[in-house]
């Protein structure tokens, strides 16, 4: 899925001649802390709540355009790249532009996380395994072969990196009872650091999701 597929509907950009107070009202209305500044169809900068309060709510936003972040994504960027840019920049929304810098719309952090929450088969019945391994020993095909030998199937996977040489591999498995799969992985010297049943997965991710939604509403 690409950036242009997740553009939010109905969130207007702010004209550079408008004052900060109007931008703050729009941020409150649409539950974001960043708005794109657009003039003549061109993306000019990403306005933050912090910048408005620092420069004064009665000040036209054009007077501090140079202070604004110019972070944006291209319409054909993958959503993984959108997620990375949004996370690295710590922003609640990211503008989408075309090849000429024309503003096409906005992707909000809430919409992006909602999309990932619905993706990766997390809602499918099954269990979750977390493996801790050195990256030089990582082979998804071998891990999949071990799991399939126990009549299981990987329906989703996510990699995170706690250090330069190790990875955490989170797997969604299509079985509710994964005792034999865990035992098989350990026979092949894989370190299973965590496992969750379907009920535990639902409670765990609902708790994390609810906490994240509360954070977005702050």
Provide the CATH number for the domain around residue 203. 3.30.2130.10
141 pLDDT higher than 90? yes
Q: Is residue 119 part of a domain?
A: no
What's the pLDDT band for 183 if we cut at 50, 70, 90? very high
Q: Please say if the pLDDT value at position 152 is more than 70.
A: yes
CATH number at residue 10: 3.10.580.10
Is residue 114 in a domain?
A: no
Q: Do 90 and 11 have their domain in common?
A: yes
Q: Is residue 152 a part of any domain in this protein?
A: yes
CA 171 to the chain's CA centroid: 18
The model's confidence at residue 160, banded by pLDDT at 50, 70 and 90, is confident
- Phi, psi dihedrals of residue 61, rounded to the nearest 5°: -65, -20
- Give 81's pLDDT tier (boundaries 50, 70, 90): confident
98 and 189 co-located in one domain: no
Check whether 213 has a pLDDT greater than 70: no
Does 132 lie in the same domain as 89? Answer: no
Residue 186 is predicted with a pLDDT of 95
Claim to verify: residue 104 and residue 133 sit in the same structural domain: no
Q: Retrieve residue 6's tokens.
A: 């997740």
Instruction: Based on the fold, state whether residues 8 and 103 are members of the same structural domain.
Output: yes
Residues 151 and 83 in one domain: no
* Tokens 């992707």 -> residue: 107
- Of the candidates 171, 172, 169, 182, the residue with the CA atom closest to the CA atom of residue 135: 169
In this predicted structure, the answer to whether residue 129 has a pLDDT above a threshold of 60 is yes
Q: Out of 75, 108, 141, pick the residue that ends a domain.
A: 108
Judge whether 113 lies within some domain: no
82-92 confidence digits (pLDDT tens): 888 888 898 98
**pLDDT on residue 144:** 96
State whether 178 and 138 are in the same domain: yes
> Does residue 118 form part of some domain?
no
The burial of 164, by beta-carbon neighbours within 10 Å (0-12 exposed, 13-18 middle, 19 or more buried), is given as exposed
Residues 103 and 133 placed together within one structural domain of the fold: no
For the segment 104-116, the average pLDDT, to the nearest whole number, is 88
CA angle (110, 115, 118) in 5-degree steps:
125
Same structural domain, 7 and 101? yes
Backbone angles phi, psi at 146, to 5 degrees: -65, -45
Residue 132 confidence class, pLDDT cut points 50, 70, 90: very high
Q: Which domain holds residue 173?
A: 127-213
Query: What is the mean pLDDT of the segment spanning 96-125?
Result: 83
Indicate the pairing of strand 42-48 with strand 127-134.
unpaired
Tell me the pLDDT of the chain averaged across its residues: 87
Alpha helix segments (H runs only) across 6-66: 20-30, 49-55
Q: What is the mean pLDDT of residues 159-184?
A: 90
């Amino acid at each position: 899925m690409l950036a242009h597929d997740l553009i939010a509907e109905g969130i207007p950009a702010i004209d550079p001649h408008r004052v900060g107070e109007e931008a703050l009202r729009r941020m409150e209305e649409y539950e974001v802390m960043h708005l794109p500044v657009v003039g003549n169809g061109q993306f000019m900068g990403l306005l933050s709540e912090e910048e408005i309060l620092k420069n004064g709510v009665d000040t036209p936003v054009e007077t501090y355009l140079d202070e604004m972040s110019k972070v944006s994504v291209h319409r054909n960027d993958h959503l993984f790249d959108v997620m990375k840019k949004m996370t690295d920049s710590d922003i609640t929304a990211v503008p989408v532009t075309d090849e000429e810098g024309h503003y096409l719309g906005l992707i909000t952090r809430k919409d992006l996380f909602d999309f990932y929450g619905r993706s990766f088969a997390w809602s499918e019945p099954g269990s979750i395994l977390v493996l801790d391994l050195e990256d030089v020993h990582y082979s998804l095909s071998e891990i999949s072969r071990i799991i399939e030998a126990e009549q299981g199937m990987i329906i989703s996977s996510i990699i995170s990196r706690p250090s330069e040489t190790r990875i955490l591999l989170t797997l969604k498995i299509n079985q509710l009872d994964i005792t034999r799969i865990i035992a098989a992985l350990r026979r092949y010297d894989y370190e299973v650091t965590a496992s969750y049943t379907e009920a535990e997965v639902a409670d765990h991710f609902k708790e994390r999701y609810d906490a994240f939604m509360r954070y977005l509403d702050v």
